Every structure is written in structure tokens, then in C-alpha cells.
Amino acid sequence: MRKSVAFVMSLAVGLSAAAQAAQADAVADFYKDKRIELLISSTAGGGNDISARMIARHMRALTPGEPTVIPKNMPGAGGVTAANHLYNVASRDGLAIAMVQNSALFEPLYGNDKALFDVRKFNWLGSPNKDVGVLMLWHTVPVDDLEQARKRGLVLGVSGGLNATPAFYARVLSNVFDLNIKMVAGYPGQNEAFIAMERGENEGYPSAFWSSLKAVKPGWIRDKQIKMILHFGPAAHPELKDVPFADDLLKNDPAKRELMAAAAAPLAVGRPMMAPPDVPAARVAALRAALVATFRNETYLAECGKLNLECADPTTGAELEKIIVDAYSAPAAVVKTIRELNQAN
């Protein structure tokens, strides 16, 4: 009897392994000689763009069938344009994926009726890092800390329009820290807003991501061309010990602390990558595994170091999904305030 049970169990294990092997072969056969389009929801040259293109180069060899991964920039509406395209237009066969600005994933929660997708139906693949946002000023601005900013006021550049992420964070910071921020909008991307800051058209930027800043403007940091007067996100960043962390400043104000935490939730997902709904599960699993392998690859990590990209703390697809589900469970009062701040006045 025991031998029969052992035989049945052995047979089941063998059949399962055979099925998995056949499934892997089928995925490899599908991807062989094909192209995966990787949408990048920002303009060329920014942190997301640099990171996505590097991932595309390394991901190919680690995906079954070794498909070519073709990056394609699709900027607009702070990432909502690309997310809408992936959800409503892109093919659902595993040949279309995207890296979008993290805030775009929360636009439906925050009441943006232009966000035409259900974020919980995307297939989450992973993220190369987590992030923090930085309120930064050009070095000539006569403001060195939040107290001075509160008294004087600030003129900040924002990219993507008054309903996009930088403008949202400008309103959040105004609300939470009692700042008078005048926004200069109309820049198509962060790089254009940065160039305008150098020219004196604006005084700074409300939500530069630290990982992007290190990658695209390391000279600014090295030469102290910018002043960073606040950073915010899921946790204080060890490289920003001399820059006040929002959560630490709000310990005596639970309501504002909760509001700031909800607004900063997108930063916990870093540079999220996803596939559309309804992609066959085996192909989703293969793409997730390819990203995990990429994020652990020594050559990839070495290139991250050369480009000053943060790659040491990646997030899996399953972890991304949990972060998003948890964020969509925020208290109604917090969501109401966030929705109000997310709308242009």
C-alpha cells in the first residue's frame, strides 16, 4: 500500500514537472523572434527613461525565447496616457508592457476621471527600486529651510500640467507645511522644468525623485547647485540624513502625518512595470521571473552603479500588487482630502 502511495506521489510530481517544462517551452516558443514593446510614460533622458532602457537591454537574454525589448516613449498626463494605452489599446498577449510614473497608478483613487483603467486588473511585474521625493531649490534662491520658505513663498516649476504629479505634490506640501507655492506650469517633462530653473524662470521643483536626480543631475548634487529642504516617501533615505524627512516633522500632528503618508504612497512602488489585463498567466510568470533575474544580474547592477541609479532594493510583482491594494484601502476622509488636492484650482 505504501509503495502504491509513493508511486502515485512520484508520478504526480513527475507529471507536474513535465507540465511545467511543457509550459516553459510554450512560452519560449511564443516569444522566439518576437518583439516586446516597453512603453515609457516620460520624455527621453529622465530617470524613468534611463532605467527602462537599461532594463530592456538586460531583460532580453533572461526572458524565454529571448524576444527583443523595444522601448517607446509615451509621455503625457503624468503617466496616465501610457497607462490608458496599456489598459485599453495595447495587445494582451504579453508583447506589451510599460514602466509608468508611480503616481499614475493612484489617479483613479484620487478621482481623476481621465484615468480610464482599473489599476487592480493590471498584471504587476516588478520595480527596480523604491523612491523618495525631494523639494529642491536652485542654489541662488534665498531660502535655506522650510521656515524661510514658509515666510517668503516659493515659485516652483511643474511638468505635465496642473493636474499632474508635481503640481499635486506642490499642493500637498502647501497644505501640510503651510507653504505659499506659486506654480509655473507648461513644461512637457521634468528635464524642461529643470532647464527653466537654471534660467531663472522658476525657483525649484516640488517632487524631484532622488533616484532620478542622482542619475540625470549628479553634478548639481556634487557642486551644490541645488538646495534640498525636505524629502518624503515611505522611509527616510540614508543618503539624505541632512535633509529633513516629512514624517519626522509631523510626529505631533497625526492628521497631517496620515495625509502625507497617503500622498507619498506612490513612492513605495518606485518605477512600476506592468502588463495589461488578461495576459496568459504563464507569460506573466515568465516576465516576472525575467525581471527578478534582471534585478539580480551582476552586469545590470554594475551598470546601475555607473549610471547612479538605485537598484539595490527592487520590488516583485506580488509585492507591488499588495502595496497598491493596501493604498486603495485608505480611510475615506484621507482619500477625500487627497482628491481635493489632486484637482487644479
CATH number at 284 reads 3.40.190.150
> Would residue 1 count as lying in a domain?
no
Higher pLDDT, 224 or 328: 224
C-alpha cell read off for 321:
500588487
**What is the pLDDT at residue 146?**
98
What pLDDT is attached to residue 94?
A: 98
Tens of pLDDT along 36-89? 999 999 989 888 999 999 999 999 999 999 999 999 999 988 899 999 999 999
User: 241 and 123 in one domain?
Assistant: no
Q: Where does a domain end: 266, 281, 300? A: 266
Q: What is the pLDDT of residue 250?
A: 97
Mean pLDDT of 159-182: 92
Same domain, 249 and 280: no
Spatial distance between the Cα atoms of 66 and 63, rounded to a whole number of angstroms: 5
Asked whether residue 230 is assigned to any structural domain, the reply reads: yes
Same domain for 40 and 123? Answer: yes
In a domain, 160, yes or no: yes
Q: How confident is the model at residue 25 (pLDDT cuts 50, 70, 90)?
A: confident
Q: Are residues 103 and 212 in the same domain?
A: no
Same domain, 255 and 327: no
Same domain, 229 and 327: no
**Same domain (yes/no): 63, 16:** yes
Q: For residue 111, what are the contacts with CB-CB under 8 A and spacing of at least 6?
A: 339, 342, 343
Q: What is the pLDDT of residues 235-268, one digit of tens each?
A: 999 999 999 999 999 999 999 999 998 899 899 9
pLDDT band, very low/low/confident/very high, at 344 (cuts 50, 70, 90):
low
Backbone angles phi, psi at 12, to 5 degrees: -65, -45
Q: Is 2 domain-assigned?
A: no
Least confident of 5-14, 24-33, 245-254: 5-14
Its domain, for residue 27, covers: 8-130+270-341
Would the pLDDT of 342 be above 70?
yes
92 located within any domain: yes
Instruction: Check whether residue 255 and residue 284 sit in a common domain.
Output: no
Say yes or no: 231 and 286 in one domain.
no
Instruction: Place 336 in a pLDDT band, splitting at 50, 70 and 90.
Output: very high
User: 3-class SS at 181?
Assistant: strand
Last residue in a domain, options 266, 284, 307? 266
The answer to whether the beta carbons of residues 123 and 277 sit under 8 Å apart is: yes
Ranked by mean pLDDT, which of 198-207, 208-217, 317-326 comes out on top? 198-207
pLDDT of residue 15: 45
Which residue, 241, 266, 291, sits at the end of a domain? 266
pTM of structure: 0.78
**Residue 204 domain-assigned?**
yes
Residues 97, 217, single domain; the answer is no
Residues 191 and 258 in one domain: yes
CATH number of the domain bearing residue 211: 3.40.190.10
The mean pLDDT value for 81-101 works out to 97
- Do 154 and 33 share a structural domain? no
Count the domains in the chain.
2
Q: DSSP readout, 101-125?
A: -GGGGGTTTTT-TT--S-GGGSEEE
